[in-house]
């Protein structure tokens, strides 16, 4: 319980707390509004990066609100400790507070606050890299590849800086408690060697993740097939890589366990179609029609920015059971091959229907040759009458 407290003390403390909360709310509201205005201005200047700017603004807002709240709470606790005395604890006067500030307590508090702010500030600056990095010149595909590369590197650097800052802060705090950190560093090195032997899979995963990022094998935003699992790369960490497939399932694969990696959106992509047409069709006419369809798709305002090269009709690729297979492919911007391919298939179906070109489906047709014509079947009734006359109970006539 509180000692030597009067109603006036409690009312004064309550008023001060209410005033502090009001000031805190006003400060948070002002900071949030300022960040929102700045984000709106950035969105007007960078129309193609609205989603990234929104994510960055949310991160900055959380960082500012948490930081301001943490500082306010620390100051409020110091004020309450000075004004109030808990049971068995004497009231703090200015001399005691100054002595405590001059000793370990405030230094530890400042170290914690500094580490918190520094780690979040570094993550904020690193998250700003996609906007600070110079824009890549060239085609849309090259700009997309550059953006994915910057995002992957910034995410990894953010994680590494947080671990580094917190580790250093922990060692400094131990030093403030007069703990000799030399044995800890030495023991940490020895433990690291021991763990290296006992945690070979972990070390392998970390090394594998390092080379994944260093060699630019796959980036956040790519569509990849890893060990038979396909999906969108959502995160690349030093130990694991995260894929999300089309139905929303998340696959987490250790980097050291990757034995086969296929990047389906590296620099550019192809959409390949094996189209079957009936044997009776003129394949030259069919291929000419396909090129005409490809030219129409390439000039469409909704798709022309995604198409890097005209439709390539390779030619007759196989003679199937009921169709002649014609192979074709179209080169697109990464991750847009499926949208372009679906539209291309739709246009092929519509155009073939309009021009009477048959796309066969599984069925069976029986032919007797070009000279064979349908013939009428005539039933001879004479054997049937003879069989009836020789039935049991009757005598057949001579």
Closest C-alpha to 289, from 342, 338, 355, 339: 355
Contact 263, 222 (CB under 8 A): yes
Q: Please state, in angstroms and rounded to a whole number, the distance separating the CA atoms of residues 18 and 94.
A: 24
Residue 182 has pLDDT above 80, yes or no: no
pLDDT tens digits for range 302-338: 898 899 999 999 999 999 888 999 999 999 998 899 9
Sheet containing 250-254: order of strands: 250-254, 240-244, 229-236, 223-226, 261-263
The pLDDT value given to residue 232: 92
Is this prediction's pTM over 0.75?
no
Q: Say which range, 62-76, 147-161, 191-205, 253-267, has the weakest mean pLDDT.
A: 191-205
Place of tokens 């763990």: 195
Looking at per-residue confidence, does 219 or 253 come out higher? Answer: 253
Q: Please state, in angstroms and rounded to a whole number, the distance separating the CA atoms of residues 235 and 256.
A: 16
H helix intervals, the chain: 7-45, 50-83, 94-102, 104-127, 129-132, 140-176, 182-198, 200-214, 283-298, 337-355, 382-389
Residue 152 has pLDDT above 70, yes or no: no
Closest C-alpha to 359, from 372, 369, 349, 344: 349
**Average pLDDT in the 15-36 region?**
78
For residue 135, what is the DSSP state?
Answer: P
Q: Confidence band (pLDDT; 50, 70, 90) for 96?
A: low
Contact 43, 72 (CB under 8 A): no
The pLDDT value given to residue 148: 65
Looking at per-residue confidence, does 234 or 380 come out higher? Answer: 234
Within 8 A by CB and 6+ apart from 180, the residues are none
pLDDT tens digits for range 71-81: 777 666 666 65
Looking at per-residue confidence, does 208 or 177 come out higher? Answer: 208
Closest C-alpha to 206, from 237, 166, 233, 160: 237
**Average pLDDT in the 354-381 region?**
68
Q: What is the dihedral of CA 384, 389, 391, 395, to 10 degrees?
A: -160
Q: Say which range, 8-12, 161-165, 322-326, has the weakest mean pLDDT.
A: 8-12
Looking at per-residue confidence, does 235 or 238 come out higher? Answer: 235
In the 3-class helix/strand/coil scheme, how is 114-132 assigned residue by residue? Answer: HHHHHHHHHHHHHHCHHHH
Q: Please state, in angstroms and rounded to a whole number, the distance separating the CA atoms of residues 7 and 11.
A: 6
């Amino acid at each position: 319980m509180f000692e030597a407290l009067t109603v006036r003390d409690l009312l004064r403390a309550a008023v001060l707390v209410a005033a502090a909360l009001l000031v805190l709310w006003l400060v948070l509201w002002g900071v949030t509004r300022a960040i929102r205005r700045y984000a709106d201005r950035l969105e007007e200047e960078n129309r193609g990066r609205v989603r990234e700017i929104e994510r960055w603004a949310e991160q900055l807002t959380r960082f500012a609100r948490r930081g301001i709240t943490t500082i306010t709470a620390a100051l409020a606790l110091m004020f309450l400790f000075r004004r109030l005395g808990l049971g068995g604890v004497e009231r703090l006067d200015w001399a005691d507070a100054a002595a405590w500030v001059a000793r370990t307590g405030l230094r530890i508090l400042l170290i914690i606050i500094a580490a918190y702010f520094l780690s979040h500030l570094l993550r904020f600056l690193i998250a700003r890299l996609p906007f600070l990095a110079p824009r890549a010149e060239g085609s849309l595909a090259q700009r997309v590849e550059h953006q994915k590369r910057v995002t992957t590197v910034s995410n990894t650097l953010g994680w590494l800086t947080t671990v580094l800052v917190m580790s250093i802060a922990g060692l400094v705090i131990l030093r403030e408690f007069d703990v000799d950190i030399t044995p800890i560093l030495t023991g940490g090195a020895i433990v690291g060697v021991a763990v290296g032997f006992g945690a070979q899979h972990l070390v392998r995963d970390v090394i594998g993740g390092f080379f994944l990022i260093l060699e630019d094998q796959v980036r956040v935003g790519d569509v990849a097939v890893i060990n038979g699992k396909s999906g969108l790369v959502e995160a690349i960490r030093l130990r694991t890589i995260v894929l999300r497939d089309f139905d929303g399932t998340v696959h987490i694969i250790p980097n050291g366990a990757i034995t086969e990696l296929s990047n389906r959106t590296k620099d550019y992509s192809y959409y390949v179609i094996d189209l079957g047409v009936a044997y009776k069709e003129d394949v030259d006419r069919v291929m000419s029609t396909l090129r005409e369809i490809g030219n129409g798709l390439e000039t469409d305002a909704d798709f022309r920015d995604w198409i890097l090269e005209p439709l390539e009709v390779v030619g007759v690729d196989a003679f199937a059971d009921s169709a002649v297979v014609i192979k074709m492919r179209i080169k697109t911007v990464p991750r847009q091959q499926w949208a372009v391919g679906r539209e291309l298939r739709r246009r092929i179906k519509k155009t073939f229907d309009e021009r009477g070109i048959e796309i066969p489906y599984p069925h069976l047709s029986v032919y007797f040759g070009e000279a064979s014509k349908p013939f009428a079947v005539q039933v001879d009734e004479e054997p049937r009458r003879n069989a009836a006359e020789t039935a049991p109970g009757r005598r057949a006539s001579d």
